[in-house]
A and B are shown apart, each in its own frame.
Chain A
């Protein structure tokens, strides 16, 4: 089993749609979690941190379920500019463990 697993995607949604990505992690001792965004041929950039049950930032909501070892990212009112790959990331000591990423394509 991979340490961090994500929905494979791609997700193709119309503008204005709500879309949710799922991520599961294997290390029950993990305390913090991150969603990174990676645009095509660019570097990963931090989107949201998740330290407790969840976090909300505008149209983006991240939720954490420690019992199920599950993290989700909800994007409301999708914009064309949201098109990217979303990476679920779990720190382990000094390093980051990445999921394979979920590709989102928002269409007009």
Chain B
């Protein structure tokens, strides 16, 4: 089965620009998560979708970040306008059922650099 796919793998943008990250979860996985690792820090939770609904968005840093999951399939994470501190690796993960910490599958991440 195909894994979690993220696009692009790398993105370099200027401060003030907009970037949209995409995640395609494993087919049939209702739960989709976004995480971020800023250099030198631990991986941190951003938000959680169950199908198309936002279950928990407590980790979203501010209103420059907008996540959507159209039709409960793929998800996008838009950063607008990007700031220098948004640089990091953005991971997407999916799981078939809630609470399956061991059942997560992570994508290979999008490395975002804001200059």
Q: Does B107 contact A (CB under 8 A)?
A: yes
Whether A34 contacts B45 by the Cβ 8 Å rule is no
Count of CB-CB pairs between chains A and B under 8 Å: 54
Q: Does A45 contact B (CB under 8 A)?
A: yes
Whether A96 contacts B41 by the Cβ 8 Å rule is no
Whether A97 contacts B99 by the Cβ 8 Å rule is no
Q: Does B1 contact A (CB under 8 A)?
A: no
Whether A94 contacts B56 by the Cβ 8 Å rule is yes
Whether B31 contacts A94 by the Cβ 8 Å rule is yes
Whether B41 contacts A32 by the Cβ 8 Å rule is no
With A95-B33, A95-B56, A99-B42 as contacts: A44 and B48 at CB distance below 8 Å: no
Instruction: Enumerate chain A residues within 8 angstroms of B35, measured Cβ to Cβ.
Output: 96, 98
Q: How far is the CA of A42 from the CA of B99 in the complex (A)?
A: 23
Whether B42 contacts A96 by the Cβ 8 Å rule is no
Q: Does A14 contact B (CB under 8 A)?
A: no
Whether B102 contacts A42 by the Cβ 8 Å rule is no
Give me 13 other A-B pairs in contact (C-beta within 8 A), A42-B108, A43-B109, A95-B56 excluded.
A32-B101, A41-B111, A44-B91, A94-B48, A94-B98, A95-B48, A95-B59, A96-B43, A97-B45, A98-B35, A99-B42, A100-B41, A100-B42
B residues contacting A by CB (< 8 A) are 31, 33, 35, 41-45, 48, 55-56, 59, 91, 98-99, 101-102, 104, 106-109, 111
9 A-B pairs, CB-CB below 8 angstroms? A2-B42, A4-B42, A41-B111, A43-B91, A89-B101, A94-B48, A95-B45, A98-B35, A98-B44
